Amino acid sequence: AQSVTQPDIHITVSEGASLELRCNYSYGATPYLFWYVQSPGQGLQLLLKYFSGDTLVQGIKGFEAEFKRSQSSFNLRKPSVHWSDAAEYFCAVGPTRANNLFFGTGTRLTVIP
């Protein structure tokens, strides 16, 4: 079955600290993998995506993610978090057999001063 799991519902980090958000997927072939961010009251915005090539992907706002096929993971990282990074982050995988993108349940990030 195709699925994506974000094990952490809520993460709190201090401003300036590093961040890693976990994403694990189940997919029969080489997936497209995405990270989207949703600020409060807003729609989703693409941070980065991966399909092939270099397994370390650079995105917007200083984020990066690493595709690890052996671990079925696509974790999102940022070396130094800013208060404006407080938001909900969604990992997604696709396309599914139903021609969907399958979104994870999200990780809410809180940034404390």
The site for other proteins (CB under 8 A) is made up of 4, 32, 41-46, 49, 51, 90, 92, 94-95, 98-106
Distances (CA, A) of 21 to 99, 100, 107: 26, 23, 8
| 42 versus 80: smaller Cβ distance to other proteins | 42
User: Is residue 38 a contact partner of residue 45, using CB atoms and an 8 Å limit?
Assistant: yes
For the CB of residue 69, give the shortest distance to other proteins in the complex, in Å.
18
| 26 versus 45: smaller Cβ distance to other proteins | 45
For the CB of residue 19, give the shortest distance to other proteins in the complex, in Å.
20
For the CB of residue 64, give the shortest distance to other proteins in the complex, in Å.
17
Q: How far apart are CA 34 and CA 84, in angstroms?
A: 20
| 15 versus 49: smaller Cβ distance to other proteins | 49
